[in-house]
Structure 1
């Protein structure tokens, strides 16, 4: 019998609602459970599929190639933007998916699990990625340490979730560092991060402009998410081109495997008036600015109680 790949993928996802599978996992299931159809495909192929690995790889490639048509015909089939991309069947609206996740929906790197992961659980994972992989010195900004003069939701448009300092001369020769310090040239860049569990077509503009608002003072601004739905990526790229905010996919299983999907566009100057407002109204941000000042005075980035991973200087 012939293998109807589109129908097979859709039927399998439909009987496993909300579970997420990579194309390779789907291909392996076909190979194990639809062996006769797979063997017919092997015989009829003009390619050399005599090796099982080659047949599996061909199935993986065809699942990816058929994805747009599958999603056009069955809108309940959705995919993540994570690599490898994961496929799943859901009848929930994208707004309902956001509400579920923000209500502590179980999610680990695009997979539903038994243990819930909150947005706050993402902060130390992001700190590890920023410090170990990017060489930044991160600091969590707790909006609860603010004067809260802006109403119940005002702070979410004012304070980022994390900030960071970059020592841009970390690899410079000692004499170059001293010369730059004496000349008063730029020695650090400041970064801002807005963190979300899920970004999809339903909430993409809201979370993007929240990141724009919260990072207006910094050299670099980023939106960070553990789960980025493919349905949002076109809009994210358009918004990035217009506003310069970057996008990071945070790998919750292995932060070192996180990806900068869209690099942020650098702003050459810090908005110190905006920094002043944040420092006056939030103790964490004031500490951050104090540590940046001490870095410029001492040429030592380790001054300050940065939110560094355990056992990492």
Structure 2
């Protein structure tokens, strides 16, 4: 039950020859097996398997998932009709269907996840979704995380680790989206006073009501995100900004280790800045083509049609979203910039976009 949120199937003409070649290869393999021919290696990409984008809040994960859906579809892998956050027990329609049967969450969550994977795989669709863990890690009654990860590994799941490598941008996003907050973390652009209590939490439903998409209902998360970007700037504490950035680097270095503990191997770690570079500058198209090629390979796509990848990127935002200097987005830019420039760590200094 529940409404479908997946992408509409789309066939890429550019991939037609490749699809025909795959079909011919499958026919040859089937004939060889029927005749008892030994020594044939199993195909590396044998059918639908979970394809997971390991991401964190403010890692552009929704955008990455949308583009991945398109590119997987263009390579003959129809994405499943699953939610953007299929690992969130409160958004997964299969899990909620089990809850509706009266099952406790520690039974409903693993049962619903298994049903999702079974049904979508049986229908010939790839479950392409974000492996965002906060939803079920904060669910105290959802059962063992290791059991769920073990089941995914047994099903042949492929994963890619995508993260925001510019820690300054990531922390600013976390503040703008109110995932973390402290006094004066957001200030009004027009007068420089504290806006945090107004634009975060329940008060934001009233303060940002004019940004409601339909003009009637209370503003959605996306409405509030747009409003906060238009109305506020981010404020950091210059005294500890370098320490905050250093902690972010440590956090990022631990992400692959977590995937390995869960049993995943052979995955790529890709900065979202590489994936999105084509949007920021037309000169960076090939950087993004290479990054998306690596992402698809990490998800188990063996034969990448880079022409199709390049065409898709050129048709979706190529050069349309240049990055703004931090002076445009940080309230106390001069103080924060001075602290970052004084860091002996070149990586920390590289986070700052000046001019």
Q: Tell me the TM-score normalised to structure 1 length.
A: 0.28
Which structure shows the bigger proportion of residues in strand conformation? Answer: 1
Q: Tell me the TM-score normalised to structure 2 length.
A: 0.25
